[in-house]
Chains A and B, each alone.
Chain A
Amino acid sequence: MNVDDALPTFLAEAGELLREMEAGLLECTTGTPSADNINSIFRCAHTIKGSSGLFGLDPIVAFVHNVEAILDRVRLGQVSFDAELINVLLRCRDHIEELVAAAADGKPDDPGLKTRGDVLLAALGAFGTSGAAASTPRTEGASTASRESAASAPADGSWHISLRFSSEVLTAGMDPLGFLRYLTTFGTIRTMVVLSDAMPMADQVDPEKCYLGFEIAYQTTAARERIEGAFEFVKDDCTLNILAPNSPPAEYFQVLRGTGLKDDRIVQILQRCGTLSKAEQTPPPADSGARESAESDRSGERGAAQASAANRDRTIRVDANKLDYLITRIGELITAAATANLAASRSGNSELEECMSNVGALIEQVREGSLQLRMVKIGATFNRFQRVVHDMSRELGKEISLIVSGEDTELDKTVVERITDPLTHLVRNAIDHGIEAADVRLSRGKPSAGTIRLNAYHDSGTIVIEVSDDGGGLRRDRILAKALERGLIAQGDTLSDNEILNLVFEPGFSTAEKVTNLSGRGVGMDVVKRNIAALRGDVSIQSREGAGSTITVRLPLTLAIINGFQVAVGKSIFVLPLDTIEECVEFSATAGHDFTSLRGEVLPFVRLNNLFSIAAPPARRQSIVVVRHAGRRAGLVVDTLLGECQSVIKPLSKLFGEVDYASGSSILGTGEVALILDVPALIRKVAARAAA
């Protein structure tokens, strides 16, 4: 494969690794960084360096190398991992992102980038040198001590680690010594025998291949998993055998025989490791039972390695455009199938009709499946905000933590992409204007650290995303005053609390100068609302003065195809998203009323024939479709219920921009066009009428 062809994969992977690295770094700011966490950050940097090397992206390699070096020392406990270092590392991460972007643009040698990189490296260097001076003697002391103790070591008490690396490990960018050094962070290497037995004749030695084997007597209080974990990054590139202290001699022999060594050499090695005393130097016979167990152990490990490789292979990267193409085709397939269906039922051929219904069922499954392909978890988007919160709270000198829940909630990839900007806006607003300064918070009896929550869940065919803060909340009096001044409301208008709060989403409510004297909320909120409306979603706000605000964003799960329910009024057909429908009941109401009683509860309704000015006389037996959105119900009075259908959503052209209550259109099997009703808008209309 041409290396350049793989570049997009590299870019995508680098992006993922950088996100992982960022998440890891941010996690370290919230508590004591765990070894796992530092390892994962290290691994990210390491992998980026390795793959950049493959593409000859030297500026990236050079920069990441330094970042990796410092991370390695963090791992070894030589440099303390404090907030300052994390901050510099975050900036380094950003710089790597810029470098990767520059590489993607084909200009990796931008001098401006280089200068910025050097500044960061200088900052990193400051951590490196101070740590080095303090730590080098300590490591040396430790290893000297280890050699001394090895001399007098008793035969028991040490783990035995037998390690062979694949010959390609060096070119894969790994340094076996790094892993050995890491071992010294949670134990002592009592002694080590470096085996060069596998090294061929001098002229045949490829200096970039690794021929060395390591037999290590290692003392630690850590568990086997911890030792194994030290070789986590390299587990595909090494054969690792760990023997517990005081294992029977036969097991040592089994393991070492497995690496292809002769018995007398094994005795020599084990003696030098202090593992065998002189008395035990006779090799045991090749006990078949023991060999079997060692064999099965190894095959178990191999099995696990294969399983993890298989796991990795279970995902593939697909160009998003190909997916979009697939979805578009399926949309057309659905429309075509509806036409075929209609023709089949007209033909009166029952066999054909049955076939068509089978085809229809399969198409539905294909549709479900292909839409699923585009569903992604919102967690990745949420976690991006950890950084926003971290950076902004530092900048503003506020202490804020971000709590994320519902990360596994899935939604369409295109929706995720387009919701990120509005969400960023909302989160920034919450940080900047929602959360008060620490002293104000304390005086209000709240903890000095503010909390911002992001939550997501599914609710009747929509995804709900909540951004809440425990800050100062919105001041209704100020909103009212500002709205009056702006002419958004008239003197004497009576507004519900809810209406007052939602004034902040009105265009023209906010301009820059008002930011400060309105405790800032409302900055560009109309833009947020417009962006969300463009996704067929809506946004609302709840707030309690002094206690905080919650902004709720509701979005449809997908933008492409929905399960619809067709209804007819006169000759016009309308489609309702099936997820929004609760039930259908027979129409009954006292003449002149626009509400009815649904099992004892008041159900307000709208007549679609009035709403869309359909002149045809109402059918003899009308029905009410009960729809629900955002916790509110309403009835829609229709003439006929036509049943479920799959509807491909086509946006309404600008010509129909004036049409309220329709969110799109769909082409029916007959070739006719049906409007897709905007249920949230209808419910709002009903609610507004009820309030008036």
Chain B
Amino acid sequence: MELELEKTARGLKVSGEMTVYAAATLKPALLAELIAERDGIELDLSLVREFDTSGLQLLLLLQRESRVLNRKLQLTGCSPAVRGVLELCCQKSLLEAIQGAAS
């Protein structure tokens, strides 16, 4: 259930809960990573089991900030939970940020 963060080559791998319970930990971690990765950030969300509004909100924040910094945001993995939310909310650009997405 717990949130787990793992540093990858160019970003972070998030596992477990991307929910409001984890949001306080997740936000600074994600933003720090975005600032650290000058060539764009890669997020692996393939092991995110739960994804709620706060998770979506953090992704949107990250997307906004990445545009401000002109850095690319890529989702190298996307669990069904995350994909379901993105589809439900018609988040076209985030869905396109999934690596290997047919675009």
Contact = CB atoms under 8 A, between A and B. Distances in A.
Interface of A: 62, 136, 139-140, 143-144, 147, 150, 169-171, 175-177, 180-181, 184, 189, 191-194, 196, 199, 202, 205, 207-208, 210-212, 214
A177 B85 contact: yes
A670 to B, nearest CB: 70
B91 interface: yes
Contacts of A193: 90
A196 B57 contact: yes
Given A196-B64, A202-B61, A207 B87 contact: no
Given A170-B20, A175-B53, A207 B89 contact: no
Contact of A199 (B26, B60, B84): B60
A136 B84 CA distance: 9
B10 interface: no
Contacts of B56: 177, 194, 212
Given A177-B52, A202-B31, A207 B90 contact: no
A159 to B, nearest CB: 16
28 contacts: A62-B1, A136-B80, A139-B84, A140-B84, A143-B84, A143-B88, A147-B90, A175-B19, A175-B52, A177-B56, A177-B88, A191-B90, A194-B56, A194-B91, A199-B60, A199-B61, A202-B61, A202-B65, A207-B24, A207-B26, A207-B54, A207-B57, A208-B20, A208-B23, A210-B54, A212-B53, A212-B57, A214-B89
A175 B85 CA distance: 12
Contacts of A177: 52-53, 56, 85, 88-89
Nearest to A171: B20
Contacts of A214: 89
B57 A150 contact: no
B43 to A, nearest CB: 16
Contacts of A171: 20
B88 A199 contact: no
B53 A207 contact: no
Contacts, number: 83
| A-B residue pairs, 5 tightest by C-beta | A207-B23, A207-B27, A170-B20, A175-B52, A143-B87
Interface in B59-94: 60-61, 64-65, 80, 83-85, 87-91
Nearest to B58: A207
Given A136-B80, A175-B53, A207-B54, 13 more contacts: A62-B1, A140-B83, A140-B87, A175-B20, A177-B53, A177-B56, A194-B56, A199-B57, A202-B64, A205-B61, A207-B26, A207-B57, A210-B57
B57 to A, nearest CB: 6
A176 B54 CA distance: 9
A202 B63 CA distance: 11
A143 B90 CA distance: 9
B89 A208 contact: no
Nearest to B60: A196
Contact of A147 (B1, B52, B65, B87): B87
A133 to B, nearest CB: 11
A211 B90 CA distance: 18
Contacts of A196: 57, 60-61, 64
Contacts of A194: 56, 60, 89-91
Contacts of A211: 57
Nearest to A203: B31
B27 A170 contact: no
A136 B79 CA distance: 13
A346 B54 CA distance: 79
A142 B21 CA distance: 30
A494 B83 CA distance: 82
Contact of A176 (B1, B27, B53, B91): B53
B32 to A, nearest CB: 11
Contacts of A207: 20, 23-24, 26-27, 54, 57-58
Contacts of A199: 57, 60-61, 64
A180 B23 contact: no
A196 B58 CA distance: 10
A169 B60 CA distance: 18
B31 to A, nearest CB: 6
Nearest to B63: A196
A144 B53 CA distance: 20
Residue of B31, B52, B57, B80 most packed against chain A (CB within 10 A): B57
A144 B92 CA distance: 11
A205 B27 contact: yes
Contacts of A212: 53, 56-57, 60
Contacts of A147: 87, 90
Interface string B1-29: 10000000000000000011001101100
B90 A192 contact: yes
A171 B24 CA distance: 12
Contacts of B83: 140
A271 B93 CA distance: 17
Residue of A170, A181, A196, A207 most packed against chain B (CB within 10 A): A207
